[in-house]
Chain A
Amino acid sequence: MSRDWPLWEVFVRSRRGLSHVHVGSLHAADAAMALQNARDLYTRRQEGVSLWVVPAASITASSPDEKDAFFDPAGDKIYRHPTFYDIPEGVEHL
Chain B
Amino acid sequence: MRNPLQDYVLALADDALIAAQRMGEWIARAPQIEEDVALGNIGLDLLGQARSLLTYAGTLADPVRTEDDLAYWRDEREFRNVHLVERSWASAFGEHDFAVAMARLLVLSTYQHELYGALLASTDETVAAVAAKAVKEVAYHHEHAALWVVRLGDGTPVSHERMQAALGSEWRHVDELFDGSYVDAALLADRVAVDPATLRPAFDRRAGEVLAQATLTVPDVRPAVGGGRRGVHTEQMGYLLAEMQHLTRSHPGATW
Contact = CB atoms under 8 A, between A and B. Distances in A.
Contacts of B37: 37, 40-41
B94 interface: no
B41 A33 contact: no
B147 A2 contact: no
B151 interface: yes
B150 to A, nearest CB: 10
Interface in A7-45: 26-29, 32-33, 36-37, 40-41, 44
Interface string B136-160: 0000000110010001000000000
Contacts of B35: 37
A41 B147 contact: no
A70 interface: no
B147 A27 contact: no
Interface of B is mostly: helix
A94 B31 CA distance: 58
A69 interface: no
B38 A2 contact: no
A12 B92 CA distance: 41
Contact of B32 (A5, A32, A44): A5
Given A33-B147, A36-B144, A36-B147, A27 B34 contact: yes
A91 interface: no
Contact of B147 (A1, A26, A32): A32
Interface in A29-79: 29, 32-33, 36-37, 40-41, 44
Contacts of A26: 34
Nearest to A34: B34
A2 B41 contact: no
Contacts of A27: 32-34
A40 B32 contact: no
Contacts of B41: 40, 44
B36 to A, nearest CB: 10
Contacts of B34: 26-28, 37, 40-41
A2 B31 contact: yes
A32 B151 CA distance: 11
Given A2-B32, A26-B34, A37-B32, 20 more contacts: A1-B31, A5-B32, A27-B33, A27-B34, A28-B34, A32-B147, A33-B147, A36-B143, A36-B144, A36-B147, A37-B34, A37-B35, A37-B37, A37-B38, A40-B34, A40-B37, A40-B41, A41-B34, A41-B37, A44-B41
The 7 closest A-B pairs by CB, nearest first: A37-B34, A40-B38, A40-B37, A40-B41, A2-B32, A26-B34, A41-B37
Interface of B: 31-35, 37-38, 41, 143-144, 147, 151
